[in-house]
Structure 1
């Protein structure tokens, strides 16, 4: 989804939800004795891209599949998605295809109870598993306990967008290390140019700097170790990451009033040429390609990976990534007609989404599509070349810990909260899970 907040993983299942899933009763929704009567798809109201792209496929590349199993779309507000899925699962009436829950834990519970299809097996049997980008598969498995439980109708990687013109005018080369990044920020700052644009109000653009620093310094398992109880955010090497980000704020590299800056304002600061760098996900490509929003010109925007940390165990080609709201398929309704639809989607969705919507999915682009900008081409090539990706700071957190992290991020950036206190506060919330 183009709503960044949809990318933040929410809560796990409540005891009541688990009980509801366990008490599945009879009934099969639109599924008859001969299989599903339609290619039913439960979407979220806020996301129009996927259902529109599927509609296009149903009239074009997947016309035959749609004739055999007509596409039928139902929508529900994202805030009500989890409850809707739990209700349908309890009635044994999940649709053929559905937007996965806001938290991976919901989909994992449905999978373990036999209600969600094992898509790695199904795609392999259909001969189309190779139509998923390896990086997307890596991300899905990281989120869903090593299983491919959803399809990546959306795929985003994160990194630092930068103003190529400002870099050239100030003799700045693309930083390869954290020290070089700090030096570049210092040079911009001396020229009265804000080094970084960021939303302290959202919080997550700040915390993702912390997590990516951790992935570069400690390696790709840094936050999994915290989730597993093998490490704590209060350990010295973890606090070091928060300190590095706090140091940027202490030098005013995020500009004035970062704590009150919202997402749109941060985006406009960068696209208006008022900031040299902007840590963000590839969903920003749509904004970058929009001439009305982008005052610096798409040709003047570059993309670089988060730099290496001296002596670190991580690699710069391990990009933080997500699949937005992945799409799951019901296990009981995955018959031959459903398989035909999924095969067609796997082969054609990537091209349709890119051509019609300018969005990057986790499917390969098999039909040549002319990118709107050079930076879009760069990101697409980066996605295709990437083999192992990492998650984001709150990906494995509970709702409470996520809220605590993001609401206190501004304090870390402005200096009103010390790195030690920030990490302690979040760790306390994690320990209370």
Structure 2
């Protein structure tokens, strides 16, 4: 994921076509170009839009990983994200993938590369290096959920999602942080009577609304709720799944998203919260840049709280399972993995988390193993939350096809405005999943 955000267009997934994947498998099959030779450089292919990860690795190469860099010098190569999948397919077909590379815009491409022997098994590699404990368990959980139970990408980026709330609005209304869905609805009702919009949300993007549907399902039916749909063991049109869409639609029917939610874009929704016009904002931790920016955050970062999506009474899910994603992850080429590459991997695992947090305030799925100072309190709060978490869930469309994802997100606003019923919303998405 995948952060399906307009502001972070560099991370929007682009699914490789079935034909392209078939060609990739053919190119990497038994008649391919033979085993890759040992690497002479630690080459890294990444999308050109991402400058944070290369910058951090370059800094490590000059400091904590200097010895590893002397043995195998870091060399960063870039390609526009829109061309990434095509480039990976071409290189794989030529048996010429670099040592490390951005893993593709969709999990299916990485799974295909894995089948053709181009992806390192990080559970084994990091265990062999004694570095498996340098990875946050929640990040491993997210990766395995996305990649068919395998730990085969590195979490240079890691985001959890939840509800940001205005502490002052809550205090003025006498509201405690909701622990259950019913308490959340009651809080929204109390807030709406004060003239403040309970929830800021972008109907134009759609996914901030469908996230709520997915989270309700995870809390009600358990963390495997959408895996069952992907496996064909359940359908979105089943009554217990429609219930989740109905719960979110009811928020809209009561006016809790305010006026004109269907025409509100991401930036406007964020501004509503950051200027105190809305009490709550469901969003991922990538919003921390804005939360910590006094020019953008007019309510003040010390007035912002973060809570998990609440429990559903009688539900099978846990409030401690945060929806999460790993951005556009990277992986290592198994065909050139050797002791020198392993040394780099061990050094990255030990040092990247602290270095990125210290220099950029950037949260990753690597543990911060050394003391970090001067980090914004909100960022530190999220980092601590991640460190305490042992498992995670995905998001509503994580396992959907591209077509079903588009249908879901383009119809989200109609769901909360009452233009379509919860039953019809789920029917539309399930129809694309069935085809």
- Pairwise same-fold verdict (TM > 0.5): yes
Per the alignment, residue 145 of structure 2 pairs with 142
Cα distance between partner residues in 2 of 1:297 and 1:372:
16
Distance 2:312 2:12 in 1: 25
CA separation of 1:4 and 1:422: change in aligned 2, threshold 3 A: farther
Match of 1:17 in 2: 21
The one of 26, 41, 51 aligned to 2:33: 26
Classify the secondary structure of the residue corresponding to 1:43: strand
Instruction: Establish whether residue 234 from structure 1 lines up as the match of residue 237 from structure 2.
Output: yes
SS at match of 1:89: helix
Q: CA shift at 1:375, angstroms?
A: 2.4
Contact 1:133 1:364 (8 Å CA) reproduced? yes
Find the counterpart in structure 1 of residue 384 from structure 2: 381
Q: Count how many residue pairs are aligned between Structure 1 and Structure 2.
A: 428
Contact 2:229 2:236 in 1 (8 A): yes
The aligned residue for residue 309 of structure 2 is: 306
2:230 is the alignment partner of 1:223? no
Larger deviation, residues 13-22 vs 421-430: 13-22
Deviation at 1:27, TM superposition (A): 7.1
Residues 147-296 of structure 1 correspond to what in structure 2 (within 5 A)?
147-296=150-299
SS at match of 1:320: strand
Matches of 2:335 and 2:297, distance apart in 1: 47
CA contact (8 A) 1:371 1:377 kept: no
Q: CA deviation at 1:120?
A: 1.1
Looking at structure 2, the residues matched to 27 and 413 of structure 1 have their Cα atoms a distance apart, in angstroms, of 55
Distance 2:180 2:374 in 1: 29
- Mapped partners of 2:397, 2:112: distance in 1: 20
SS at match of 1:195: strand
| Rounded Cα–Cα distance in structure 2 between residues aligned with 1:4 and 1:199 | 15
> Measured at CA, do residues 419 and 131 of structure 1 come closer, stay the same or move farther in structure 2, by a change above 3 Å?
same
* Secondary structure, aligned partner of 1:74: strand
Deviations 1:236-273 (A, max 9, x none): 11011001111111111111111111111111111111
Match of 2:123 among 120, 124, 128: 120
From 327, 338, 341, the equivalent of 2:341 is 338
Offset from partner CA, 1:167-204 (integer Å, 9 cap, x none): 11111100001011011111111000010011111111
Which range moves more in the overlay, 206-215 or 119-128?
Answer: 119-128
TM-score (norm 1): 0.96
Are residues 371 and 249 of structure 1, via their aligned partners in 2, closer, same or farther at CA, if it must alter by over 3 Å? farther
Per the alignment, do residues 174 and 418 of structure 1 end up closer, same or farther by CA in structure 2, a change over 3 Å counting?
Answer: same
d(CA) in 1 for partners of 2:57, 2:269 = 32
Matched, 1:413 2:434: no
Please, what TM-score do these two structures have when normalized by structure 2?
Answer: 0.95
8 Å CA contact 1:9–1:394 kept in 2: the answer is no
- TM-superposed CA distance for 1:372, in Å, is 3.4
Q: Secondary structure at the match of 1:308?
A: coil
Question: Partners in 1 of 2:141 and 2:13 — Cα distance?
Answer: 17
